[in-house]
C-alpha cells in the first residue's frame, strides 16, 4: 500500500459506517419480517442467527423459510438458493476492477458481503472517487452485522412492532431509487436502466422467482453494447458533445 492509500484510509471505519447506514435502515423491516416468519415456521432464534451468518442473502432466506414450511427437502432448497443468488456473479464481476489492490484473503473476506445493497453503495462510491477496498469492506460487514441482528431481533420480538411503521417498508425501494439516479450519468445508462427495468417487469408477469432480475439486467447491458455501436447513437453523442 502506498502513502496515498494510507492517507485515504485514515478514517476508513467512520467513512465506511457513514456509507452503510442507509443499508442498515433498509434491512430493518426486511430482517425483522424474516425473523418473524422463520419463528412461525418453527425455527429458533439460534437457527435464524446461523442462517443469516452462513447465507447472508435476504431473498434466498425468505424462500428457504417458505420452502421449509412447505416441507421441502434440503436439495431443492439449496438448488433454488443457487439460482436466486446467481446474480451476485454480475455484482462481483463489476466490482472486481476496483479491488485489484486486495490479496486473495481480502477478496475472500469481501466476497462474503457482496449484496445488491452493498454493491450499489460501494460501486457508486468507487466510481465517484475517494473510496477504497478497506472502506468497502466496512460497508459489507457493517450491513451484514446489521442483517444478523435484525433477523434475530425479528425472531424474538418482531411481532410487537406494527407493520409499516414510519414508512420503513419503503426504505430499500428509496435506496435503490437513489443508487439508480447516481448511476445515470449519460444517455446510454438511461437506456440500460429502461431496457433492463421493462424486461424484468414484463418477465415477472410470466415467470416466478427472480430470474427476471438477472435476465433483465443482462438484456439491458447487452442491448446497450449493441446500441453504442450503431451509427445513430454515435451521431447523437457527437451532437450532445458539440452542444456542451
Partner 1 sequence: MTNPDLLLLFAGMGLVTYLPRFIPLALFAKREVPAWFSEWLSYIPSALLAALLVPELILSKTGLEVSFDFWNPRLLVAVPTFLLAAKTKSLGGTVVAGMLLYWLALKIIEASLSG
User: Within 66-95, which residues bind partner 1 (CB under 8 A)?
Assistant: 74, 77-79, 81-82, 85-95
Stretch that binds partner 1, among 6-14, 148-156, 204-212, 234-242 (CB under 8 A): 204-212
Answer for which of 36, 114, 136, 152 binds partner 1 (CB under 8 A) is: 114
Closer of 69 and 198 to partner 1 (Cβ): 198
Closer of 100 and 242 to partner 1 (Cβ): 100
Instruction: Supply the minimum distance, in Å, between the C-beta of residue 236 and partner 1.
Output: 17
Q: What are phi and psi of 73, to 5 degrees?
A: -80, 175
**Contact call for residues 142 and 16 (beta carbons, < 8 A):** yes
Burial (0-12, 13-18, 19+ Cβ within 10 Å), 53: middle
Entry field: residues in the chain: 244
The reply to whether 180 sits near partner 1 by the rule CB under 8 A is yes
Closer of 43 and 242 to partner 1 (Cβ): 43
The reply to whether 225 sits near partner 1 by the rule CB under 8 A is yes
* Closest listed residue to residue 62, CA positions, set 94, 30, 88, 86: 30
How many C-beta neighbours within 10 Å does residue 230 have?
10
Residue numbers 146-165 binding partner 1 by CB under 8 A:
164
Instruction: Supply the minimum distance, in Å, between the C-beta of residue 208 and partner 1.
Output: 9
Closer of 8 and 212 to partner 1 (Cβ): 212
Q: Which residue has the cell 430470474?
A: 211
Q: Which residue has the cell 439516479?
A: 181
The reply to whether 50 sits near partner 1 by the rule CB under 8 A is yes
Cα–Cα distance, 17 to 119 (Å, whole number): 15
The reply to whether 193 sits near partner 1 by the rule CB under 8 A is yes
Using CB under 8 A as the binding criterion, the count of chain residues that bind partner 1 stands at 99
Grid coordinates representing 157 are 420480538
Cα–Cα distance, 159 to 153 (Å, whole number): 10
The reply to whether 234 sits near partner 1 by the rule CB under 8 A is no
The reply to whether 144 sits near partner 1 by the rule CB under 8 A is no
The reply to whether 121 sits near partner 1 by the rule CB under 8 A is yes
Q: To the nearest 10°, the Cα dihedral for 97, 101, 104, 110?
A: -70
Integer-rounded Cα Rg, in Å, for the chain is 20
Stretch that binds partner 1, among 3-11, 102-110, 148-156, 232-240 (CB under 8 A): 102-110
Instruction: Supply the minimum distance, in Å, between the C-beta of residue 196 and partner 1.
Output: 4
Cα–Cα distance, 59 to 156 (Å, whole number): 20
The reply to whether 182 sits near partner 1 by the rule CB under 8 A is yes
The reply to whether 55 sits near partner 1 by the rule CB under 8 A is yes
Amino acid at each position: 500500500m502506498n502513502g496515498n492509500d494510507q492517507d485515504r484510509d485514515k478514517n476508513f471505519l467512520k467513512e465506511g459506517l457513514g456509507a452503510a447506514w442507509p443499508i442498515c435502515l433498509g434491512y430493518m423491516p426486511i430482517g425483522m419480517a424474516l425473523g418473524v416468519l422463520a419463528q412461525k415456521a418453527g425455527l429458533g432464534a439460534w437457527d435464524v442467527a446461523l442462517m443469516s451468518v452462513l447465507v447472508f442473502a435476504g431473498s434466498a432466506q425468505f424462500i428457504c423459510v417458505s420452502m421449509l414450511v412447505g416441507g421441502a427437502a434440503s436439495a431443492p432448497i439449496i438448488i433454488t438458493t443457487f439460482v436466486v443468488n446467481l446474480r451476485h456473479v454480475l455484482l462481483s464481476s463489476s466490482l472486481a476492477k476496483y479491488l485489484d489492490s486486495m490479496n486473495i484473503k481480502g477478496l475472500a473476506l469481501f466476497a462474503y458481503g457482496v449484496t445488491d445493497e452493498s454493491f450499489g453503495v460501494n460501486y457508486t462510491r468507487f466510481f465517484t472517487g475517494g473510496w477504497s477496498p478497506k472502506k468497502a469492506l466496512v460497508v459489507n460487514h457493517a450491513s451484514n452485522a446489521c442483517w444478523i441482528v435484525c433477523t434475530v431481533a425479528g425472531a424474538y420480538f418482531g411481532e410487537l412492532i406494527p407493520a409499516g411503521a414510519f414508512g420503513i417498508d419503503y426504505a430499500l425501494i428509496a435506496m435503490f431509487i437513489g443508487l439508480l439516479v447516481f448511476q445515470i450519468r449519460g444517455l446510454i445508462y438511461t437506456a440500460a436502466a429502461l431496457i433492463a427495468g421493462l424486461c424484468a417487469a414484463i418477465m415477472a408477469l410470466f415467470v416466478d422467482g427472480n430470474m427476471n432480475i438477472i435476465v433483465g439486467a443482462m438484456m439491458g447491458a447487452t442491448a446497450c453494447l449493441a446500441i453504442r455501436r450503431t451509427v445513430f447513437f454515435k451521431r447523437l453523442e457527437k451532437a450532445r458533445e458539440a452542444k456542451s
